[in-house]
Amino acid sequence: KQEVTQIPAALSVPEGENLVLNCSFTDSAIYNLQWFRQDPGKGLTSLLLIQSSQREQTSGRLNASLDKSSGRSTLYIAASQPGDSATYLCAVRQGSGNTPLVFGKGTRLSVIA
Amino acid sequence: SAVISQKPSRDICQRGTSLTIQCQVDSQVTMMFWYRQQPGQSLTLIATANQGSEATYESGFVIDKFPISRPNLTFSTLTVSNMSPEDSSIYLCSVAMNYGYTFGSGTRLTVV
């Protein structure tokens, strides 16, 4: 059974700092991996999707990497801003069909002005 | 990208009552997924809803407690029945698209 772990559980950084969020998964046979952002009490916003054949994806200040063989992904946030404060969730998809995502518990990020 | 309209966004309900949550997708999809997020926890899959057949429930979730309807390829409802304070959570629907999964905005349920 796939298990997804995110470290750290919470992180507080000053504005402008670069930071890395970590995600690991136990079964490397994944189809893709997706990073989401969740604001308190809200739904999920997709940030980046990495297919199993890819090594990284970039969107603006965000860069996600994937090392499928070692079961790891990182989300790099450059020049953090207070508006980046949210919970970041990592989720993996096992198959190409309509298979549900398996989520980590998330990293709660606070960026202090 | 697909857009999901989820209603209600939040509700406060009395124990013993039921609440029906609706999700409307702006395109036709085969499967819809329903998740629960308990306070401080990550998302747990409740069930997978396929149009024209009964939903498939995950371990720990039963149809009598969480009945699901899927009348067509763009709409689904989840009912939380006979609610207790332990049902206080955020409930989310989701669909799988070629570019990844899209989620509704969530329903924040508080049972008092």
Q: What is the pLDDT of residues B50-66, one digit of tens each?
A: 887 889 999 999 999 99
Q: Is the pLDDT of residue B79 over 80?
A: yes
As a whole-number percent, the residues of chain B with pLDDT over 90 amount to 83
For chain A of 113 residues, list the mean pLDDT of each consecutive stretch of 10. Answer: 94 97 95 94 91 95 96 97 97 85 95 96
Cβ within 8 Å of residue B93, ≥6 positions away: B4, B6, B21, B23, B32, B33, B34, B35, B76, B78, B103, B104
Q: 3-class DSSP state for residue A111? A: strand
Which of A34, A42, A100 is nearest residue B33 as measured by Cβ atoms? A100
Which pLDDT belongs to residue B2?
85
Q: Which chain A positions have a beta carbon within 8 Å of B6's beta carbon? A: 43
Q: Is the pLDDT of residue B1 over 80?
A: no
Q: Please classify residue A19 by burial: count the beta carbons closer than 10 Å to its beta carbon, then call 0-12 exposed, 13-18 middle and 19+ buried.
A: middle
- Rounded to the nearest angstrom, the minimum Cα separation between A19 and chain B is 22
Q: Which of A98, A102, A105, A108 to mutate to test the interface with B (most CBs of B within 10 A)?
A: A98
Q: Check whether the bond before B67 is cis (ω within 30° of 0).
A: no
Which pLDDT belongs to residue B98?
76
Q: Which residues of B touch A (CB under 8 A)?
A: 6, 10, 30-31, 33, 41-43, 45, 48, 90, 92, 94, 96, 99-106, 108
Q: Are B92 and A104 within 8 A, CB to CB?
A: no
C-alpha atoms less than 13 angstroms from C-alpha of A28 in its C-beta half-sphere: 8
Alpha helices, DSSP H only, in B3-56?
none
Residue given tokens 């136990």 in the structure block: A26
Q: Which chain A positions have a beta carbon within 8 Å of B110's beta carbon? A: none
Q: Are A46 and B43 within 8 A, CB to CB?
A: no
Q: Which chain A positions have a beta carbon within 8 Å of B31's beta carbon? A: 98
CB B47 within 8 A of CB B56: yes
Lowest-pLDDT choice from A63-67, B9-13, B29-33: B29-33
